[in-house]
Amino acid sequence: MLSCQARTHGEPFAPVVAELRQEIIDIVTRLIEDTCEDAASRAPGAVPPAGHEASGLAHALVGAAESLAGWANTRTGAVPSAKETAATLMNVAWVGLENLMAGRRWTRTTRP
């Protein structure tokens, strides 16, 4: 939430927030690469994501986490806990990451 505010409102600490956000993205990228490489080593034919693909996934995941945090912090009434919000993100990401680790990627299907 602070990251979004700092980036959009030009706060004086925006460069620091951007640097910290990039560090988080770098860590998530390495986690995705390492996890997928480990899974690929145990699954014949599975191909781990290329560096740019893992980086894109990390950006998407970090952005989704920021968006969910913003959503949770602006709720009135039934406010989800941090654990519930994290579980929401994992429910979205888990199926996709599980398929990626198994070497299955989304492909566009053609219509007849």
Q: What is the mean pLDDT of each run of 10 residues along the chain (112 residues)?
A: 54 81 94 83 74 89 90 85 87 77 73 62
pLDDT (0 to 100) of residue 38: 82
pTM for the whole structure: 0.74
Q: Supply φ then ψ for residue 104, to 5 degrees.
A: -95, 125
Asked whether the beta carbons of 103 and 90 are under 8 A apart, the reply is no
Among candidate residues 83, 98, 85, the one with its CA nearest the CA of residue 43: 98
Domain assignments of the chain as residue spans, ordered by start: 2-101
pLDDT (0 to 100) of residue 3: 53
